[in-house]
Amino acid sequence: MNRVQKKRYQRQRSHKRLRRRIRGTAARPRLAVFKSLKFVYAQVIDDDSGQTVAQASSLEISIREKIKGGCCNRAAAKAVGEAVAERAKEKGVSTVVFDRGGYIYHGKIQELADAARSKGLEF
Domains of the chain as residue ranges with CATH: 3-118 (3.30.420.100)
| 38 in Cβ contact with 72 (< 8 Å) | yes
Average pLDDT over residues 15-25: 94
- Mean pLDDT confidence for 57-76: 90
Q: pLDDT at position 68, please?
A: 80
**How high is the pLDDT of residue 57?**
97
Taking the C-alpha atoms of residue 59 and residue 95, their distance in angstroms, rounded to an integer, is 25
Mean pLDDT of 29-47: 96
Q: Judge whether residue 49 has pLDDT over 90.
A: yes
Q: Give this prediction's pTM.
A: 0.91
Through-space distance between the first and last CA atoms of the chain, rounded to whole angstroms: 36
Q: What is the pLDDT of residue 122?
A: 95
pLDDT value of position 87: 98
Exposed/middle/buried for 74, CB within 10 Å: 0-12, 13-18, 19+? middle
**Beta pairing, strands 51-57 & 97-99:** unpaired
- The pLDDT tens digits of the residues spanning 70-123 come to 788 999 999 999 999 999 999 999 999 999 999 999 999 999 999 999 999 999
Q: What is the mean pLDDT of the chain?
A: 95
Return the H-helix or E-strand segment holding 3.
Answer: helix 3-21
Residue 43's H or E segment, with its range, is strand 40-46
SS3 116: helix
State the pLDDT at residue 36. Answer: 93
